[in-house]
Amino acid sequence: MRSRLFDVVRIVVLVLILAAVAVALWRNWSEVSGELGRASIPALAAGLVLCLLSSVCTMLGWRVLLADLGSRLHYAEAASVFFVGQLGKYLPGSVWTVVAQTDMASRLRVPRRRTAVVGVVFLVMSVLCGAFVGLAAVPLFLDRFGVDLPSWIFVGAAVVALGMMVPAVLNRALTLALRLLRREPLEHAFTVPAVLLALAWFVGAWVFMGGSVWVLVRDVGTPTGTAGHVLLVAVCGYALAAIIGMLGFVVPAGVGIRDGLLVVVLGAVLPVPTATAVVILSRFLSVVGDVLVAGFGWGWGRRHALIGDPEAR
């Protein structure tokens, strides 16, 4: 009876995720169809490739963390679990991604608690890396609203972000959290090499995604300022807008929050209508990239019964 109930829950969650992705594609297409003519095909292709590279970097960082706790998945297995599970971000709340990844990974004999812990740590580290990358855009963002803060605040924020990524701090925080939840401690603590490698992958993911925005900024409009300034606005501005959108976890994939903030930041180098067009195109490429990598994961997962009847394995 319990097994049948879980099967029903799996089907319901799967249908909801697919419906949310379909709605995201339809909504984005209705908005982007009028803007596609403003971008060249090479720029769109380059932007999409950078989005895909960002997704791959994110998956590799997640795989490193999971392996460090004792479950080393093959690259195809990790891609299937991670990319399909990531579609859960299109549902309100951040829990659905972890739920889907935990269920799929369990069919590869990965303990559910281990996948869940990695899912939470992955989210925290990704946000911290995004905050670190986006820190350079904070003064620009505040300047757009006429707010002036001393530079030591930003230096202090960078130090705090780096301090929270130290493995010793991370392991103690996890131990405390599991104790408060009355759960057994992890079999293994995160090691320094694994954390550093995961952080490098996550930073790379943010840079690639911001690079996708930069390609569109250069192609769609005529940005003002030096090349370095435009690059900083695009890469760091995207990271800043995206992490604030991620913190608005009740909104699917941070839609609206991220877009509005990114328009404000890009307004420093582009007219607002052009910045809006760039944001619409960037969001569409991001959704298409998610669908493409999830399509690979879906196909591999169906072939090896990670999706569907677990008895087929």
Q: Give the model's pLDDT for residue 306.
A: 62
Contact status, residue 39 vs residue 190, Cβ threshold 8 Å: no
Secondary structure (3-state) at 24: helix
CA distance 244 to 261: 9
* Predicted TM-score (pTM) of this structure: 0.82
166 C-beta neighbours (distance < 10 Å), count:
12
CA atoms within 13 A on the CB side of 136: 15
Find where tokens 């807008």 sit: 241
Q: Give the model's pLDDT for residue 312.
A: 42
Assigned token pair, 52: 């895909």
Picking from 312, 289, 310, the residue whose alpha carbon sits closest to that of residue 83 is: 289
Q: Give the model's pLDDT for residue 234.
A: 93
Picking from 252, 297, 260, 299, the residue whose alpha carbon sits closest to that of residue 105 is: 297
- Residues, the chain: 313
CA-to-CA dists, residue 64 to 124, 127, 194, 211, 260, angstroms: 15, 17, 6, 24, 33
Assigned token pair, 18: 């697919």
Q: How far apart are the first and last CA of the chain?
A: 21
The rounded average pLDDT for each run of 10 residues, N- to C-terminus, in the chain (313 residues) is 52 62 64 74 94 96 94 89 85 76 87 88 87 82 67 70 78 81 76 92 96 94 87 92 71 63 87 88 89 85 60 44
Contact status, residue 230 vs residue 156, Cβ threshold 8 Å: no
